[in-house]
A and B are shown apart, each in its own frame.
Chain A
Amino acid sequence: MNLAQFLAGRLVKGIVVLFAIAILNFFLIRAAPGDPAQVLAGEAGAADAVLLEQLRARFGLDQPLIEQLWIYLKGYASLDLGFSYRQQRPVLELILDRLPATLLLTGAAFLVSLGLGVLMGALAARRAGRWQDSVITTLALVFYATPLFWIALMSQIIFSLKLGLVPNVGFETIGANYTGLARALDIAQHLFLPALTLGLFFTALYARMMRASMLEIAGADFVKTARAKGLSPGVVSRRHVARNAILPVVTLAGLQAGQLVGGAVLTETVFAWPGIGRLMFDALVQRDYSVLLGVFFVSSAMVVGFNILTDLVYRLADPRIEATS
């Protein structure tokens, strides 16, 4: 299979997934207690009669269910994710405004957790059974059990409120009007804590996986050969073991990207990060269901895109994949 075929196949699969999510959204609206028109209006039962009538006409709520589904899917297919009557703006517009901030946050958290996790796991495996291993394994266990929103709050207290090392909340310093490099630096400072806390759980996951993967490969024949021909332990573990051990970790990381997007809701809420997670939280408080479902759809689309991307990187990194797939 060549690259174009592979990409086409993955795109079709991705579109099927998004289609299924649109159907899921449709049925979720119907599952809500009460009138679907009220749900779409997002006014917590206080929408006026004219608006409700408009919504019923627009979404064909007096038509048979299958007809309603058709109207709904047609909307999604033309990238119409509905309208937020609370904010008086189309949902897609609201989301696209906030998307760059979330992409930056989740991207940074992904890189931090993967980098840190692989490093910790590799170190633990090289020192298996010694104190470095115990420290890293224990740390991974702790990260794994810590509630994300709590560690975000606690790191906020310690690192920004008490020590004043990094800014407390927000995306950049308001009113500073930095440009160019100064602005990038300012945003990076604001990004530090959110990205670190969001990535913590996954750091633990990848560290454990990398450690197990390294230990498994360390027993392989080609590693014995490398050692037998007199390579130093450092070279063997870097060039022969780590390079092969990292592959399953990258696969897992690609699959886990979706959970990262979900976790962004908590991080963005705590750090007032102006992304789609924060948008989701605000929609939650206001019971603005159209926005809620729109964010759910877009974050699923993000995951699909992310999975295709990691698959692509993976194929480039390991040519053997092409032969087997």
Chain B
Amino acid sequence: MSFLKRFASNRGAVVGLIILLVVIVFALLAPSLFPQSPWRTVGRPFLAPFVMERFPLGTDTLGRNIAAGLVHGARVSLMIGVVSTLVALLIGVPLGAVAGYAGGFVDDALMRFTEFFQTIPSFALAIVMVAILQPQLGSIVLAIGVVSWPPVARLVRGEVLSLKTREYVQAAVTIGQSTPRIIFSQVLPNTIAPIIVMGSLMIGSAILLESSLSFLGLGDPNLMSWGYMVGAGRTRLIDAWWISFFPGLAIFLTVLALNLAGEGLNDALNPRLARGRE
């Protein structure tokens, strides 16, 4: 069976992919759907959802359009999710590859370093980093990347450890290829499939992390974010539940979709593993 067929045979993965595509389309169309800034007061505050056509999901405590906030927030969530995952891969992949390939003392030292980052409470570290470096796009992405790379390093190290004894790697050593070249052209290309799977699952956790940070008030003050919207409605839960409800639902659906699609990707890339799991 081809890759696409295998992916399509997993109903959950297809549902996840569809939800994800809808979110992406909304994110892309945000400027044309709601050209005004999502921060602007456009109506009376506390308008209930599904009542006025102009505000399908109601307005928040300051009369901002919740639907506009959601659509603009989708851009921010997806972007931060993807970029911070890339940052985590950028740290974790080289680190894991070097540790696995070098072995010995280097491996020991790098793995201790990784273990250290796995021990410390990652969310607390992210809070401290963003608070001290000031809540801006850059510091948020950096903080999420810094707390999410250890599993990547471990995964890559394990893959490299098993690959480096293969014959084609031995052959590359014999013909005198340099170590960096062997790592980048012989070993790493063969670890791409598991890295892609892990990356797609990491985007989901990065989105959760970003929304948690902005819920606590650690979002970039210039970017509308789902977590911020939930936090902003927190004080009016009883009389205006929708202000916190819809952004949270958006986070939930997006993360769920990413997890479903990521698992589908995993099963499609490793058909034997998928069967073994059942």
Contacts and interface: CB of A to CB of B under 8 A. Distances in A.
Given A147-B211, A150-B248, A153-B244, A21 B120 contact: yes
A32 B230 contact: no
A307 interface: yes
A200 interface: no
A255 B252 CA distance: 25
A26 to B, nearest CB: 12
B234 A212 contact: no
A253 interface: no
Contacts of A280: 124, 127
Contacts of B131: 284, 287, 289, 292
A88 B136 CA distance: 30
B129 A28 contact: yes
Interface of A: prevailing SS:
helix
Given A153-B244, A259-B121, A29 B132 contact: yes
A296 interface: yes
Interface in A289-313: 289, 292-293, 295-296, 299-300, 303-304, 307
Given A145-B255, A157-B238, A303 B121 contact: yes
A149 interface: yes
Interface stretch (B31-39, B51-59, B181-189, B213-221): B213-221
In the complex, which of the residues A129, A141, A293 has the most CB atoms of chain B within 10 Å of its own CB atom?
A: A141
Interface stretch (A50-58, A187-195, A260-268, A315-323): A260-268
B241 interface: yes
A265 B127 contact: yes
B230 A150 contact: yes
A284 B251 contact: no
- Interface size grouping (class) on chain A: 35 or more
Nearest to B132: A32
Contacts of B217: 284-285
28 contacts: A17-B116, A31-B133, A32-B132, A142-B256, A145-B208, A145-B255, A147-B215, A147-B230, A149-B215, A150-B230, A151-B248, A153-B230, A153-B234, A153-B248, A212-B277, A258-B118, A259-B121, A259-B122, A261-B121, A266-B212, A280-B124, A281-B216, A284-B218, A289-B131, A292-B132, A296-B121, A296-B125, A300-B121
Interface of A: 17, 20-21, 28-29, 31-33, 39, 128-129, 141-142, 144-151, 153-154, 156-157, 161, 212, 215, 255, 258-259, 261-263, 265-266, 269-270, 280-281, 284-285, 287, 289, 292-293, 295-296, 299-300, 303-304, 307
Given A33-B134, A154-B248, A280-B127, 7 more contacts: A149-B230, A161-B238, A258-B122, A262-B121, A284-B216, A289-B131, A300-B124
